[in-house]
Amino acid sequence: MNFDTLLLGVADGISYAGLLFLVSLGLTLIFGVLGVLNIAHGSLYALGGYVAASLTALAMRHAFDSTPWLFLALVMAAMLVGLAMGLLLDVLLLRYFQKRDPVIQLLVTFAVFVIFEDVQKLIWGTSPYAAGEIVSRLGTVELFAVTYTVYQIMVIPGIALASYLGLNFFLKKTLWGKQTVALTHHREVAMAMGVNVKKIGALVFVLGAMLGALGGALAVPVSSLTPGMGAEMIVVSFTVVATAGLGQITGALITSLMIGLARSLAVYLLPEIDVAMPYIIMLLVLLLRPNGLFTVAQSRRI
Amino acid sequence: MNKPLLHATNICLAFGGVVAADQIDFELHEGERLAVIGQNGAGKTTFINICTGYLQPTAGRIVFNGRDITGKTPRSIVKLGIGRSFQLPQLFSEHSVQQCLEIAAAARGGRLSWLTSLSDSVKHKEILETLELIGLREAAHEVAGELPEGHKKLLDVAMALMLHPKLIIMDEPTSGVSSQDKHGLMALVMQALDERKVTSWFVEHDVDIVSRYATRVAAWIDGKIAADGAPQQVLAHPKVQEEILGVTAC
Amino acid sequence: MKLGVFSGLVVLVLLAIGMAFPWTKTMLIIGLCYGLSALGVAIPARSGQVSFGHAMFACVAAYAVAFLARAFPQMDGVVLIVLATLTGTLFATVLGSFVVRYRGIFFGMLNLAVSMVIVALLGKLYELSGGTDGIRVQRPEFWGLVTERSEFETMLLFISCCIALLAGWFYQRFTQSATGEALGGLKSNETRLEYLGISAHHILWVGYAWSGFFVSLGGAIFALAQGLVTPEMGAWTRSGELVFIMILGGSSHALGPFVGAGVFQAVKLFASAYMAGVWQMLLGFTLLAVIALAPEGIMGAWLAYRSKSVKGARP
């Protein structure tokens, strides 16, 4: 195990962590504000990826094939998918199934996820899609005498970081953002003061969905799209969210990095359990801190 | 002077900057009916939570019936003989009134059955007696979550009674109940407690209820007991009048 | 008609179908396995804790069958089932001791995590477990009789039916016992439970161990029916299917999970025959429909309908 391999592992880890963070961010945002654990987020990831692949292919066929255009296609795919799915989930969960048990709501999202698994297969088939064009366009960069793709080491983490900062800014400085925070922590007071729950709820779902879809769209150039990619991503995202603590945004950033790196390094160092790394980490964390690493104390109930 | 049933010494607890319990020394004797009054946030419920094990004090000691109960869990304290009812009644909302009492009765017995049905594992007579005593006989098969507020309060007390406690602590037993029904409810509860010979300690905001049913009153202000003694005495105390009852000097 | 009697009749019908159409036997047995396992998932679910990893017990028991059958080829089939179920139950008891400290989504996730680790390990440790290809299970004897495929299936079907009836009986007794009702009480108010002197941890542990028992039972029989055990048996998607079956059938009566399993199998069969490639979608829509229209599941809706028609219109 030499230094080069280690660096490669770290680079992989950072890139994977970036994607993981985008998906987990959406997940934890939706849970933090609305109390819904959204399994369908996996579908968002997958759909984001598939739509992005189709849009970039479309763009290339119509000579919009310079890098910025392709990139725009990726982002647009995420926005579209996020908007559509976000609104769908909003209608289902915040209006139709609003008053039900959280577990029932979870199962509703599970049903939606399962439905979309087949929708993907119907629309795009089951053979893997690859669209690595953008990655090769952006070229490579050399660090410590090892070559990485610019995409992996700068674009993905960059966008992930930008999303994090953007979301923080939104929540702390904009009116809607502050209303969202108010709704999360002091629901009754916020409602009494006129915060429009329906609007904020829809906003949060769409925002969260867009982040998940963005993760999928960005994943397109670096992985091949297959049925089941949504399932894999959602389960690992859950471990990030549960390990960090539900609703913890900065916590999710740190945890994504931790789990992403652990997973990637394990591929090189401990290949027998590389797939299991996220779960092992979550198990260890929850044993010591049952509500997640970054959760603050709960208020008294009686 | 016989030994107190409950004896708390130097109980301290603070939440961040707020002092909820400020070196409290407190005694309760068997047979007493203690009413605790005070503003919201004065520390009345926090002290109850400490004495019943829901919260741990940062300092101090509590002895109940000769046993040190400081730091014990609610479960062990309950088994030693303290029953409790809550500001918001804590019931099994999906079970019937009768089933709630049956679960309480089964709990008292120690080991819960795996195969014998709930109703077969408890003494039916005892359940009926308690239902009769607390005035819920007709409502026996109603679902607890759908009861009117007064009945919920009664059930909350009844469940605590099923454990045959020596002391019952009731947090605002008449809150949420209409003014017409308050007295009726309190009379029913006190009668039941007298019959079962249970010492009572209750938090109450209604001065009429306090003067009618309490043998002793303790007034809490800002985490400390400001006055403690006979009801007429405490209710006439100037600080109590000003801070709690809202009567300002002319 | 009492539901217990009805269950007995259903079993007779299943046996009749199995005898009349021999190709259905394996399917029926597998349906019963799913039902048994869903019965297991229902127990913690009734106290509000839904596990997304319970399929791991079926997986552990199945692999126990495979290992035992490989090491002791002469071992009787019933003994295999018993020992494998004991193994799974023991594992559940050990795991349960700390997993039941968690509530809600953390309980669900922890179970998921453990199941994923097990699946990953079984997939990678090729020497021991046959990796992702799994291990074949030779048809064992039943009471000293070596059987052909068809007779074996008949015996297994018969045994499964008996086990299902017994399991259903126990589920009913357990859920109506003091422990069972206390577990139901835990769902609505854990604080009150503690304030009655009942240890929530203890009763959840008991419930969890028994749930492991039922799921293991289903897994052990499944191993014999399928003749092959793979890590897939413990995957989170399988656990999700069990939860789905439980919701579909309802957990208020032991028949529920079996009804759910039956409908689940039927939908899968129908979908794969006529609408290949969309059975997941069909299942998803069915789940949504059940959640929206019959939240207590098919059995719950049936029981509600029956009590309404018996008592007449109630204000």
Chain B residue whose CA is closest to A297 = B15
Interface contact flag, B121 C188, Cβ < 8 Å: no
C313 pLDDT above the threshold of 50 = no
pLDDT band at A138 (very low <50, low <70, confident <90, very high): low
pLDDT for C194-222, tens place per residue? 999 999 999 999 999 999 999 999 999 99
The reply to whether C173 touches chain B by the CB within 8 Å rule is yes
For chain A, list the domains and their CATH numbers. 3-288 (1.10.3470)
Considering only CB atoms, C196 lies closest to which of B121, B145, B159, namely: B159
Q: What is the pLDDT of residue C314?
A: 45
- Rounded CA-CA distance C96/C213 in Å is 12
Element (H, E) at B167: strand B167-171
Residues A252 and A240 sit within 8 Å (Cβ to Cβ): yes
Nearest-by-CA chain C residue for A113: C284
Task: Find, in chain A, the residue whose alpha carbon is nearest to that of B54.
Answer: A302
pLDDT for residue A119: 87
User: Tens digits of per-residue pLDDT, A275-288?
Assistant: 888 988 988 888 88
- On the question of pLDDT at B250 being above 60, the answer is no
Query: What does the pLDDT look like over A123-133, one tens digit per residue?
Result: 887 776 666 66
Find the chain A residues whose C-beta atoms sit closer than 8 A to any C-beta of C.
37, 96-97, 100, 102-104, 106-108, 110-115, 117-119, 121-122, 231, 235, 238-239, 242, 246, 271-273, 275-276, 279-280, 282-283, 286-287, 290-291, 301-302
**B71 is written with which tokens?**
């730091």
Q: What is the arithmetic mean of pLDDT over A218-228?
A: 78
Question: Which pLDDT value is given to residue A133?
Answer: 65
- Judged against a pLDDT cut of 60, whether residue B1 lies above it is answered with no
pLDDT tens by residue, C226-263: 999 999 999 988 998 999 999 999 999 999 999 999 99
pLDDT, residue C82, reads 95
- Contact present, A255 and A240 (Cβ < 8 Å): yes
pLDDT in tens, B110-139: 889 999 999 999 999 999 999 999 999 999
Hey, how many other C-beta atoms are within 10 angstroms of the C-beta on C24? Answer: 17
Which chain A residue shows the shortest CA-CA distance from C50? A103
Nearest Cα to Cα of residue C83 among C66, C69, C65: C65
Residue found under tokens 């005035």: B135
- The predicted model scores a pTM of 0.89
> What is the pLDDT at residue C10?
87
Q: At what angle do helices A67-89 and A102-124 cross, to 10 degrees?
A: 140
Who among A117, A118, A280 is closest to C117 (CB)? A280
Distance CA A119, CA A113 (A): 10
| Residue in B171, B240, B222 with CA at minimum distance from that of residue B201 | B171
B115: left (phi over 0), alpha (psi -120 to 50) or beta: alpha
Highest averaged pLDDT of the listed ranges A186-195, B9-18, C211-220: C211-220
Q: Which of B222-226, C81-85, C303-307 has the highest mean pLDDT?
A: C81-85
The residue ranges of every structural domain in chain C are 27-235
Distance (Å, whole) CA B30 – CA B50: 20
Task: Give the residue-averaged pLDDT of A166-183.
Answer: 85
Q: Decide: B44 and B203 in contact? Cβ < 8 Å.
A: yes
pLDDT tens profile B41-69: 888 999 999 999 999 999 999 999 999 99
Q: Report pLDDT for B179.
A: 84
Higher pLDDT, B149 or C314: B149
If you average pLDDT over every residue of chain A, what do you get?
A: 82
Whether B211 and B181 have beta carbons less than 8 Å apart is answered as no
Would the pLDDT of C161 be above 60?
A: yes
Residues 6+ apart with CB under 8 A from A140: A147, A148, A149, A150
How confident is the model at residue C291, as a pLDDT? Answer: 87
Please state the rounded mean pLDDT for residues C10-15. Answer: 88
Give the other-Cβ count within 10 Å of A78's Cβ: 28
B36 with C157: CB under 8 angstroms? no
pLDDT above 70 covers a percentage of chain C that reads 98
The residue behind tokens 């303290």 is: B82
Residue in B95, B104, B114 closest to C177 by CB:
B114
What percentage of chain C has pLDDT greater than the value 90?
53
pLDDT at A53: 82
pLDDT at B191 over 60: yes
- Collapsed DSSP state (helix, strand, coil) of residue C229: strand
Instruction: Report pLDDT digits (tens) over A77-89.
Output: 888 888 888 888 8
Contacts of B103 (CB under 8 A, 6+ apart): B92, B95, B118, C178, C181, C182, C185, C196, C198
B90/C191 touch (CB, cutoff 8 Å), yes or no: yes
